[in-house]
Amino acid sequence: MDLKLTGTVKQLLPEQSGESRNGPWRKQELILETEGKFPKPVCIVAWGDNIDQFAIEEGERLTAYIDIASREYNGRWYTDVKAWKVERESEGSGGPPRMPADEPFPEPPGDDDDSLPF
């Protein structure tokens, strides 16, 4: 099952960390507002090294590939929406890659000879 959500990051919550019996852990939650006629806020969690790899910022539009898992604790059920991959609008869109705004456009190689090579 390939689940993904596309929307705008409305809020990036502070990173949380701790120690469990399996060792140290880190997580960061973000609120992604979905698109469409009736947009909905969805709390998505990034774990461990994905926090640094994703480098998510408030206000950006992205697609989050997610896993949904529920667990029971003391008779109550809790559900997590975990991101395992994030794509920005320009990534994977099938179009040409964008040039960073701070880089000058490269000059084409040229010579002063106007003759054609064929």
Q: Each residue of 25-64: b (16+ CB within 10 Å) or e?
A: eebbbbbbeeeeeeeeebebbbeeebbeebebeeeeebbb
pTM for the model = 0.70
Q: Who wins on pLDDT, 113 or 82? A: 82
pLDDT at 75 over 80: yes
| CA distance readout (Å), 43 to 71, 99, 104 | 17, 32, 39
Domain 3-87 - what CATH class?
A: mainly beta
Q: Measuring CA to CA, which residue among 64, 56, 55, 66 is closest to residue 87?
A: 64
94 confidence band (pLDDT: 50, 70, 90): very low
pLDDT at 116 over 50: yes
Question: What whole-number percentage of the chain has pLDDT above 90?
Answer: 71
What is the mean pLDDT of the segment spanning 75-88?
95
Q: Where are the domains of the chain?
A: 3-87
Q: Who wins on pLDDT, 117 or 94? A: 117
Helix ranges restricted to H, 4-111: 50-54
| CA distance readout (Å), 101 to 1, 65, 93, 104 | 37, 28, 19, 8
CA distance linking residue 69 with residue 53, whole number of Å: 22
Query: What is the predicted pLDDT for the residue at 89?
Result: 77
Query: What is the predicted pLDDT for the residue at 52?
Result: 93
